[in-house]
Structure 1
């Protein structure tokens, strides 16, 4: 195995979600192990302060040694960034990234590692301008698509960009 990818689903989703499943297939094809933590019990109360528990669960699933990539969609992208600060990683792949969560006392933060984002121009939950600003500040790769927050019309595109991202990591 080349390493392990921690695939984090969004808030109103689960570990078998469409986008996370598509990314898992890419991992399998390229020889990367993957883990899909289940955050649904943590998410049930809809408490923004439970984000810390989500981050902790992602970190529990990361192996203590070896290469790790954090990837996620929406809330999964948000917590992936924070996990990357606490556990050394090779890169971040973020879908529909929120750069702030109402009620959570911290704005988005992430390790300075290779980062790629896919974001919808018409994302109704996470303003596209915030994603553009984040990508610009980091020099991250940014793929903007004609879609909304769910990126439902671009699942295959997200998988293709993830495949390219992992291939570039070697």
Structure 2
């Protein structure tokens, strides 16, 4: 039974970004609804305190009932995890996850739900070791690829992994 995927873009991006667009295409093919909140007005200040407003916006666009999956890239992954603590979710799909944001008072956390992560070995922004530690502590599925923070060489591959993730949720 499909549901809705909240697809959150990164800080230097927008709702039409390459990765979230690829994930939205997967949602369409599998009969899942997808919503891509636009955070660009919040991100313009580059103020870490805007993360709370990002989380609130994502939650506002989630349906009140039915299955929800939170998915996102970079800052979108960070806010997706925190949103999952406030709204029941069927799963999390996180790309290039930062486990902490300088200047933001809360460390990354997420609901204990099926979680898959994709991270680049050569991520120059989000250290891979912290993501490995998070995945290990949660027994989450972690895919490490030979890429950097943008995962630009793996967009189609990420979409295929996402497809398998959604199918695996049943």
TM-score if structure 2 supplies the norm length?
0.99
User: Deviation of residue 53 (structure 1)?
Assistant: 0.2
1:101-124 superposed Cα distances (whole Å, 9 cap, x missing partner): 000001001000000000000000
In the other structure, the counterpart of 2:140 is 140
In the other structure, the counterpart of 2:92 is 92
Q: Distance in 2 between matches of 1:56 and 1:74?
A: 17
Q: Distance in 1 between matches of 2:141 and 2:47?
A: 31
Q: Which runs of 5+ in 1 are unaligned?
A: none
In the other structure, the counterpart of 2:113 is 113
1:15-69 superposed Cα distances (whole Å, 9 cap, x missing partner): 0000000000000000000000000000000000100000000000000000000
In the other structure, the counterpart of 1:123 is 123
User: Deviation of residue 12 (structure 1)?
Assistant: 0.3
Q: Does the alignment pair 1:29 with 2:16?
A: no
How many residue pairs are counted as aligned between the two chains? Answer: 170
Q: Distance in 1 between matches of 2:40 and 2:98?
A: 19
In the other structure, the counterpart of 1:164 is 164
TM-score if structure 1 supplies the norm length?
0.99
Q: What are the equivalent positions in structure 2 for 1:6-25 lying under 5 Å apart?
A: 6-25=6-25
Q: Does the alignment pair 1:152 with 2:158?
A: no
Q: Distance in 2 between matches of 1:33 and 1:140?
A: 24
